[in-house]
Amino acid sequence: MPLKVVWGMNQKDSNPMWSTGDDGRVFASRSSGSSLDPSVDAPLSLQFRNAPPLLAASLIHAAIDRVLQTDLSVFKKQSVEEEKEGDQRKFTLLDGGSLQRCFFNKLRDICCEWQKQLPSLKSLKCFVLISSHAIRNVRRKMEDRHVSLPEFNQLFGLSDDVDRVYFAVFDGHGGVDAANYAATHLHVNVALHKEILKNPTEALKGSFQQTDEMFLFKAERERLRSGTTGVSALIVGNRLHIAWVGDSQVMLVQQGKAVTLMEPHKPEREDERMRIEALGGCVTYMDCWRVNGTLAVSRAIGDLYQKPFISGNADGNSFELTGSEDYLLLACDGFFDAIRPYDVVDLVLDHLKQNKGDGLKAAERLVAAAKENGSSDNITVLVVFLRNPPDILADCLGNPRSLTADEGAEDSPFNFFSSEMNNQSDSHTTIKS
């Protein structure tokens, strides 16, 4: 079962600071300067191939549990103290290579044990079919990253009866470091957040802020200038929770109608312009509206030298899911600058028609459409089907209709399956809650 793991640690702390260096070392610190707490399991990023997601997530969780039960001081490379403007910070550098080898040894042991007796694994009760596609396009570098975790509970050992699935898209600028960091750390911070069970929206928002603070600490040490926008979605039972910074976006299609869930953070927004100017910054027009004549977004993770004008504080929202939702779409601005939300509906429907209801390559079709419409930016699209695509196609062909405010009031149960993978006024709604 081949798998690739980028390993790191996190910690339940009033002010946790964790990072990984470009030299492969794992960087960890606590405001108190004390040693690591082995009670917290926190993989930062992982990618499995040729393994069912449920099995892969369960294996990684079990292996990390075992690693955290060992004496991690043997991986210590050095202790460092930094003092800046009266703020003394202590941290420890761990040898990432040795730690990773330890992880693989634990994983091998668990695989051997599970071959003899496989434990009971709890699968999702809800239906999720994922289609994702990303291209560098004509840009010199690919700075987008995306995350798909349909087995969120199994990965982080959340044992209640509520299904959780997580998705995110990050659009980096000024380098890929911030996008890499956010894609590696944000979901871990969400899982460890104190509000994850009671208030998932606050957990998402708080995790954006925490990830921003963590990356800024790393950026100071390593003189990194990059930043990233980001949007994340966490489905918990029959509720959708979202949070975002910048202009990466998430939208919903319900009964064949595009539904806007959020307003991106752009400098031309009146509230954002007023916030920036109140801090002493400015918003100017230079081919587009920019903060201090540089960035075309007003909030992001990172951008050390543009703080506090570029805020790392996320906005968030929560919506009830009734079972009538067709799919979610998460994408970067390279997509949304070229494709209008209400055009998404026609593009996906056309794809389903041409492919007999097969939605696995729907994201590829959307990316191609954005490129055809003139997008030269990196393009990343994640389509999360909440209903079986053949059923969506049948409903659109046999019973086309527009969504009204009173429809879908009754709850209907979700039946989810996990897999890897008009005119404007009639097909587009904005929800504010």
Percent of the chain with pLDDT over 70: 77
- Residue 178 CA: distances (Å) to CA of 37, 48, 70, 296, 334: 26, 23, 31, 17, 18
Residue with tokens 């640690």: 9
How high is the pLDDT of residue 81? Answer: 54
Provide mean pLDDT across the span 14-38.
Answer: 34
In angstroms, the CA 106 to CA 7 distance is 13
How high is the pLDDT of residue 159? Answer: 87
Q: Decide the pairing of beta strands 45-48 and 301-302.
A: unpaired
How high is the pLDDT of residue 133? Answer: 98
Q: What is the residue extent of each domain of the chain?
A: 3-116, 126-262+315-430
In angstroms, the CA 118 to CA 62 distance is 12
Closest of 314, 332, 312 to residue 248, by C-alpha: 332
Least reliable range by pLDDT among 71-80, 134-143, 360-369: 71-80
Token pair belonging to 430: 């904005």
Q: What are phi and psi of 14, to 5 degrees?
A: -65, -25
Indicate the CATH number for domain 126-262+315-430.
3.60.40.10
Helix (H) or strand (E) holding 430: strand 428-430
The larger pLDDT score, comparing residue 59 to residue 92, is at 59
DSSP of 383-428, one letter per residue? EEESS-HHHHHHHHHHS-----TTTT-S-----EEEE----HHHHE
Q: What is the pLDDT of residues 270-308, one digit of tens each?
A: 999 999 999 999 999 999 999 999 999 999 999 999 999
How high is the pLDDT of residue 69? Answer: 92
The larger pLDDT score, comparing residue 431 to residue 396, is at 396
pLDDT at 49 over 80: no
How high is the pLDDT of residue 339? Answer: 97
**Chain mean position to CA 210:** 14
Q: What is the pLDDT of residues 219-254, one digit of tens each?
A: 998 999 999 999 999 999 999 999 999 999 999 999
Q: How many CB atoms lie within 10 A of CB 292?
A: 16
Q: Give the chain's mean pLDDT.
A: 82
Helix H, strand E, coil C: the string for 284-309 is: EECCCEEECCCECCCECEECHHHCCC
Report the range out of 90-94, 159-163, 326-330, 423-427 with the highest average pLDDT. Answer: 326-330
How high is the pLDDT of residue 88? Answer: 57
Q: What is the pLDDT of residues 299-311, one digit of tens each?
A: 999 999 999 999 9
Provide mean pLDDT across the span 44-68.
Answer: 77
In angstroms, the CA 109 to CA 115 distance is 10
How high is the pLDDT of residue 409? Answer: 32
